Structure formats: structure tokens, C-alpha cells
């Protein structure tokens, strides 16, 4: 895979290089990359992969991380090698990419809504007997699309489906256990489908803060368990596989484990976490959520903690008036949907020493396309040309702004380049 002018952060001398050449190029973050540049700390990525896998093993659950966080097959491969059960996706484009890179076990955590997409899935399953895809459903019409596609293709095995539970004014998913049971009864009449379990996404509930959301998260999880128990009582689950109970966020997965493991469905459920953001973590939203998780669950802290791995580095480019500086990074480069980014590190040109920035010393007041408008809250020795490192909130919407992210060691040496496929 060749890199070129469309890849941000690359040195000018990189034109014509291949992605795989970067690992041995000897580049250094603060000397060679043209900022802004998005970087991943290798030590933190490795720590996070180990931490999450240990969490899953400790509580007897499977990890099927949502690949949409990074859309980086190199990271997919790392997650699978570290023990992930499979990968989750949300669109047909995701699914096709996963298959291109050989992923064999996938949860499609969304509804398939077109006959063409359903037919592609059925053909893919027919062509590869080892390919396992499990699909969300929340309506009989959507289930019929899948069943009709399987019938048309002549698929010799049923498509596994998960009945999704949602919340009022939330997102997709049937509204309640009674509706879930009615749907399962209707779907059970189609031999082309197998009811594999029940699914939900707990991060959509109301409440504002994590503490405010917790009662609503718990209510949704309990309703999901109630649906599973009702469907199990009607003997509608596929008897050839463990019943899957799966939820998908990166903020309340400890609550998911506690409620799902207690489900009374006649056998131990296969509890599958679809959390995706753990691999990079972040400095704001998920860091706060992780602190709250440790407060809820003392056992999680025994295994260490998740660490922020994702930084976006840029340069101070203008200081046109007292109290305001501008940095050459904007909405095209960094997340701003959950919270505005924060300056967490700095590297003055003269000293070349990385400094940790005290919270509140600077505040990103707004972002333009290519500028961060930064309020300076106190005395500082930083000036034009000095480098600053930003922490993000919600890593998904930073990853999708970069075709190439640079993996660095703790000394700032670029040790790999990570390609994304958004």
C-alpha cells in the first residue's frame, strides 16, 4: 500500500514509500513528522489489549470489539491475536472490509435493510462454511429480508439472528421484552433463520452523566435479560449453540457482565462484549467513565487500568493578542462531537523536553476546519513553533479523520504506520 500527498503527517521525503517501509524509516514524532499528526502509543495499546482480555477472562465473557472505532485491519489482527472472540461491525462496508481481511466471526450489530445486502451476506456464507455472521433484527420485515435471501441463494445453514432490545426515544431495537418474544415467535417459523440470542446497546439511554445514566442502563439490561428468559421459556433459541447475550458500549461493560451472567435461560449464556474504544481509550470521556467503572467494581482495578493511547500533535502557529493562541489543528483532524479536545502535553522547541500540561492552563474554546482557538488561562513560556499534544474525547471520530496514524514508542520513535479504511 503506497502512501502519498493525501496522507497527513508524513514528511515530504516520504513520497512514493510504502506503508510497510515506515516502521524502519527511523522517523521521530517531534523531528520528522509534519504536524498535525495523529499518534498511537504502542505501550498503551498493548496495555489496553491485555487489560481488556484479562477482564473478559476473569469474568468468563467473550470480547467481540467493535472495529468501527479504528477501522484499521492491523489493529483488528492484534485484537484477534490477543484473544478476541470475533469483531463487531455496523455497516455493509464494514462487513465487506472485515471479510477482505479474513475475519471469520462477525456480529453485525445493526439491521440489514436491503435485499441486495442480504443476498451478499447469504452468498458470502454459502461460499465459506467457516464464516460465522450473526445479525441484529428488530422487525419481522427485516428478518424476512434475510430469510428470503438465504432461500434464494440456497444457503444450506440458517443465518443466526439476535433480537435487539432498544429503549423509547433511543435508537433501533424492539421496545420491550413482550415485543421481543412476539418477534421471536414469528421468526422461529422461518427455517432459514436461527435465533441465536438477544442484544442491546446500553450507551444510548438518557441520563447525561455516567452516574445519571446508570439506573437507565440497569433497567435496559434487566429488560434484555427478561426478553432472553421469555424466549428461552418458549424454547425458541437455536439448540445447537450457546445462547448469546451481547451489549456494546465501552462505559458500562461491568454492569453488562453482572446482569447478563445472572440470566436464567436453562444454561450458561455466552456473554459477548462489543466494546471497541478500550483499545485506544481517551483522555476525557472514556477516562472519566473508567474511573466510574472502578468505583462500581473494585475487582476491575486489580488488573491495572486502561491508558490513553491516542494523541494528536500540532504546532502553535499564531498568538495575535494576549490570552489567545491558535494551533494548526481543527475539525478536520480531531474529535469534537462529545467534548472539545484538551492540550495535555507540550514540547517547547528550545528545551525539546515533553511537559505535562496542568488541567485548565489552556482551553480549546472552538475549532475551525484547520485551527484550534485556544484560550491561555495563565502564564506560559510556550510560543510560536512549539508543539502541543491534544487528548481527545471519543476516539472513533478522531480515527476517521486520518488515513494513516503513526504508532510510536515511549521515546517518540515511529515504530509503525496504521492504515484506516473509513
Give tens-digit pLDDT for 160-216. Answer: 999 999 999 999 999 999 999 999 999 999 999 999 999 999 999 999 899 999 999
- Say what the pLDDT of residue 300 is: 66
Shared-domain flag, residues 317 and 175: no
Q: How far apart, in whole angstroms, are the C-alpha atoms of residue 394 and residue 282?
A: 7
pLDDT of residue 15: 80
* 71 plus 25 within the same structural domain: no
What is the domain range of residue 147? 43-286
**What does the pLDDT read at residue 151?**
98
Whether 58 and 123 share a structural domain: yes
Pair 241, 207 in one domain? yes
Q: Is residue 296 domain-resident?
A: no
Conformational region of residue 35, where left means phi above 0, alpha means psi within -120 to 50, and beta covers everything else: beta
Q: Are 56 and 82 contained in the same domain?
A: yes
Q: Which position has the grid cell 496504521?
A: 418
pLDDT value, residue 299? 72
Is residue 340, in this structure, part of any structural domain at all?
Answer: yes
Q: Which of 258, 286, 314 is where one domain is finished? A: 286
> Is 291 within a domain?
no
One domain for residues 167 and 179: yes
**What is the structure's pLDDT at 297?**
84
Let me know whether 157 and 194 are in one domain.
Answer: yes
Write the Ramachandran bin of 229: left for phi over 0, alpha for psi from -120 to 50, otherwise beta.
alpha
Return the CATH number at 206.
3.20.20.10
Q: Residue 317 domain-assigned?
A: yes
In a domain, 297, yes or no: no
Q: What is the number of domains present in the chain? A: 2
Residues 247 and 101 reside in one and the same domain: yes
Q: Give the per-residue pLDDT at 302.
A: 67
49 found inside a domain: yes
Please tell me the predicted confidence (pLDDT) of residue 7.
87
- Given a contact cutoff of 8 angstroms between Cβ atoms, the answer to whether 272 and 225 are in contact is no
Q: Is residue 301 part of a domain?
A: no
Q: Which of 328, 324, 345, 326 is nearest to 392 (CA)?
A: 345
Indicate which CATH number applies to the domain containing 356. Answer: 2.40.37.20
Residues of the chain with pLDDT under 50: none
State residue 14's pLDDT score. Answer: 85
In angstroms, the CA 62 to CA 413 distance is: 34
Q: Are strands 62-63 and 37-41 parallel, antiparallel or unpaired?
A: unpaired
Tell me, yes or no, whether 278 and 327 share the same domain: no
End-of-domain residue from the set 286, 320, 339: 286
pLDDT at 303: 74
Q: Is residue 293 part of a domain?
A: no
Residue owning grid cell 474504544: 277
Q: Are residues 318 and 281 in the same domain?
A: no
Shared domain for 27 and 108, answered yes or no, is: no
Task: Give residue 298's pLDDT.
Answer: 77
Asked whether residue 9 falls in the same domain as residue 31, the answer is: yes
Amino acid at each position: 500500500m503506497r502512501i502519498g500527498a493525501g496522507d497527513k503527517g508524513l514528511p515530504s521525503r516520504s513520497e512514493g514509500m510504502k506503508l510497510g517501509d515506515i516502521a524502519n524509516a527511523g522517523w521521530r514524532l517531534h523531528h520528522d513528522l509534519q504536524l498535525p499528526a495523529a499518534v498511537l502509543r504502542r505501550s498503551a495499546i498493548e496495555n489496553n489489549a491485555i487489560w481488556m482480555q484479562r477482564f473478559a477472562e476473569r469474568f468468563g465473557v467473550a470480547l467481540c470489539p467493535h472495529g468501527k472505532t479504528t477501522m484499521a485491519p492491523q489493529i483488528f489482527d492484534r485484537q484477534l491475536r490477543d484473544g478476541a472472540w470475533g469483531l463487531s461491525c455496523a455497516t455493509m462496508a464494514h462487513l465487506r472490509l472485515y471479510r477482505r481481511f479474513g475475519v471469520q466471526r462477525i456480529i453485525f450489530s445493526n439491521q440489514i435493510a436491503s435485499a441486495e445486502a442480504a443476498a451478499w451476506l447469504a452468498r458470502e456464507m454459502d461460499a465459506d462454511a467457516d464464516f460465522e455472521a450473526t445479525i441484529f433484527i428488530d422487525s419481522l420485515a427485516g428478518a424476512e429480508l434475510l430469510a428470503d435471501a438465504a432461500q434464494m441463494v440456497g444457503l444450506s445453514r440458517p443465518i443466526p439472528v439476535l433480537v435487539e432490545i432498544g429503549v423509547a426515544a433511543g435508537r433501533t431495537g424492539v421496545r420491550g421484552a413482550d415485543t421481543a418474544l412476539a418477534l421471536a415467535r414469528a421468526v422461529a417459523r422461518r427455517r432459514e433463520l436461527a435465533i441465536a440470542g438477544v442484544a442491546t446497546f446500553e450507551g444510548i439511554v438518557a441520563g447525561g452523566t455516567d452516574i445519571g445514566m446508570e439506573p437507565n442502563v440497569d433497567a435496559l439490561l434487566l429488560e434484555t435479560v427478561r426478553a432472553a428468559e421469555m424466549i428461552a421459556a418458549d424454547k425458541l433459541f437455536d439448540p445447537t449453540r450457546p445462547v448469546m447475550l451481547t451489549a456494546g458500549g465501552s462505559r458500562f461493560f461491568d454492569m453488562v457482565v453482572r446482569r447478563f451472567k445472572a440470566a436464567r435461560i436453562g444454561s450458561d449464556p455466552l456473554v459477548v462484549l462489543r466494546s471497541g474504544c478500550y483499545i485506544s481509550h481517551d483522555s476525557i470521556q472514556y477516562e472519566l467513565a473508567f474511573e466510574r467503572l472502578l468505583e462500581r467494581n473494585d475487582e476491575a482495578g486489580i488488573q491495572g487500568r486502561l491508558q490513553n493511547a491516542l494523541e494528536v500533535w500540532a504546532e502553535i502557529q499564531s498568538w495575535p493578542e494576549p490570552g489567545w493562541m491558535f494551533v494548526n489543528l481543527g475539525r478536520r483532524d480531531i474529535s469534537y462531537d462529545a467534548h472539545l479536545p484538551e492540550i495535555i502535553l507540550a514540547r517547547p522547541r528550545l528545551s525539546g523536553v515533553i511537559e505535562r500540561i496542568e488541567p485548565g492552563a489552556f482551553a480549546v474554546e472552538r475549532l475551525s476546519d484547520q485551527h484550534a482557538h485556544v484560550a491561555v488561562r495563565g502564564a506560559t513560556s510556550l510560543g510560536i513553533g512549539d508543539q502541543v499534544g491534544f487528548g481527545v474525547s471519543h476516539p472513533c471520530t478522531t480515527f476517521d479523520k486520518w488515513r494513516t496514524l503513526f504508532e510510536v514508542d515511549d521515546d517518540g520513535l515511529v515504530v509503525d504506520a496504521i492504515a484506516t479504511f473509513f
